[in-house]
Structure 1
Amino acid sequence: MLTEEFVSAICGAPLSSNTAIAKDVGIYCHTLSPAYSVKSTFKKSSVPVNCLAVSETHVFAAQHEKAYVHVYSRLRGNQEAFVAFPERIRCLTLIGDVLVMGTAEGRLMLWETCTGRLVSTPARHVQAVSCVAATPCHVLTGSDDSDIHVWPLPQLLELDSAAAAEHEPLRSLSNHRAAITGLSASPSVSRDTAFCVSASKDKSCIIWNYQTGDALRTLLLPTFPLCLSLDPSARAVCVSCEDGSLYLAKLFSEKPVLGPGSEDSSTVVQVASPFGATQPDVGPASCLSLSYDGTMLLTGHPRGQILRWDVAENKSPVELANLNAAVTNVAFVSPFPSEAPTKTVTIVKPSQAERAYTFTTEFESYSAPATRFDSLVNAAGVPQEAMESAIAAFYQPAGESASDQDLKKQNEELWEIINEQKALQKQTLQRYVEAKSKP
């Protein structure tokens, strides 16, 4: 049976003296299906919005108003490392084994967790980096200065230290007029279909083709958005606003926002009908996350509630838990196993000092079914079965393969064409001789 899990984080002091909730717990690992339960917890963490990243082996949590990142091991169930950085971390995300962080000084930092290598870019944003999104080839950073920068990931990770000091974004997306509050990118890497969605305090969401820099569509909202989440298949975007409303914009519906049949990109779409709304005692959703199939939405609220919304049937939300503190991050864990050949079991702390580039990881077990080649390699000497098969092959008459039969057929067809040409040539020559012999 498929198991769905998600991780949540809180920020700030407890809202009440509720003794039923363990003290000092800052991060919760939940099991959503087949039955809801809290699987494990991690203590001593206060995580602001956009500062939680989860891998198969670790949880990375930047601390509120501090230049620290706490690293927790999901395999061992404890805090593995306390990592200090030169600047305060405002947001972070994971790309494989690389932790991408945006700082309060407008800088971008990349930490290779399996080598300890730390790459830092110049401060290309004039204000703090408020959110960051990543694809296999690009990193996108949104800032309080209202700009979005698109960075090439391969160039950021190149080993040339001289080029690192000159890192610049590929392009800037600057249609917004206020701070960026949310940023999410589609999984596509094609130049024609790669897009991202940004939310801003100017009460708008813009859909961009970040590889060309074109603004594909602008969505206007009644109030300014706090956060957004893009459907894993990039079919819809869900937005939470400060008035407690949730909006769901379907990108490829009967009246598509993008693609064939949509209106001109200069047309602004007014999003007026909310998908749902929270009660005043719950407050607006400060974080949200869509499930892997896009049918379920989880929202975290400043009064401690985590609500589950049924996107497919649009039913009333169900309260999963009350963590007695402001819920700032909710992230689904992929239910599908990673196809990476290696796994980072123990992280290597970051360092900017010049040193040997050492890759520390663990190879995954080879789980493919055994082949005949495997049996030959693992056997002591030549297996008896292989020897008998080889001897029997010598006594069998050589049969024609499919390719030999095709060649034989083509050869016969060519000979037929040649014989027809010879007969035609003979007839022509005979007529010429007869015509010449006549007086």
Structure 2
Amino acid sequence: MTDNREHDGQSGPHGGEIGPTERLAMNRTGSFDWDLDAGSIDVDTAGLLVFGQEPGGFDGRPTTLVHRLDQQERARLESVVREALKSGRSSYAAHFRLEREDASEQWTHVQARILRGGDGRAHRIVGIVRDATSEVTHSEFVMELERRRRRQTDMVERSTHAMSRAVTVDDVTAALTGPGGLARLGADGLALGLVEDGSLNIIALSGDSLDVLDDLRLRRLEGGLPLHEAVLSGRPLFTSAFQELIKEYPQLAPYAGRLPFRAAAYLPLVAQARTLGGMVLFYRRPTAFSADERNLALGLAAIVAQSLQRAILFDEERELATDLQATMLPRRIPVIEGGEIAVRYHSAWSGRQVGGDWYDVVPLPKGRVGIVIGDVEGHDTHAAAIMGQLRIALRAYAGEGHAPSTVLARASRFLAELDTERFATCTYAEVDLGTGTARAV
């Protein structure tokens, strides 16, 4: 007769098809039959190999089968079996580690079914055992990769959140060097420098022992130092041998013994094609700087660079606003006879918004003095311009000796004649220190 059954074309050792037992053995999977009443266990050849046993030397005892397991792993496996037997379950599964002949570690997986009698008492356990090292190792690798990615994502998110609240350059440095700053960056030390007038000014140092670099805070932006070269070239420099790097840069040699770091990342800070400065992240632990770690460091540098760019612009605008307001206000307060005048001006600001608030002190004839406090509608340069014109006009009307009501009436008419829709509020007081009287409008 002709056998017309389909097969996969694989043959056993005698030319026949590979049976289920042979297939399991090829995949380092074996079976066992444990007689609980007799206290013996029957394990096929593949199963013995998984347990690291020589097929010809196995005595059928469960304790012999697991003698390669260390005490902790054996206790854990026995606990799984004991709990399954006591709970009345019909099966159990477990992973455990086993030491091979070559001292390498093997992850082993056992999956078993518990056979019970009519009274519920367990009599036999049958199951399979297999070498699961490959899948467990792969699983651990994937889990470790996922842990690293979660950690990196968390670092980026926390750094972004901290930087988003930084308004000024001082705010940026505080976020990087304050509580939790280094932890957000995953580093043990930090140096932050800004390019200023052809020099690199280190504006922040954070981390143990980094104060020894105080001598390097302000240097011409030229070669000879790793951070300077990273800023000049626009390319990062990663080193997993920090002490070896010091040998390449003699200027760092005097500080070598006082810097306990094993790795460092020198990162240029670039925003919108403009190099703002550079940042160094120092690490005490060995760091290989894989592709993911390099990308993370570059991503953190980009976050810092963008925050610095906003902060530098804000500081410049605030300085402009402060200077503009200062030019609109009295340069000095006149000395008056019979009294003292103290002034405190604290303007509110946000970016380039310039307030229209002003004050003035005007010496008047006959020992009198005029005091002005006013505010033009709006918070911009137009409000500041109107404020300057109003201050000069009101000062002129007051200096002519007019009564307070006349001074403000003329100032109001002057404002109405200006090409603006802005209004202003103002209080003008005329004080006579000789008689102790005051008139205010």
TM-score, normalization by structure 1: 0.19
Q: Which has the higher contact order (CA 8 A, sep 6+)?
A: 1
The structure with the largest helix share of the pair is: 2
TM-score, normalization by structure 2: 0.19
Higher Rg of the two aligned structures = 2
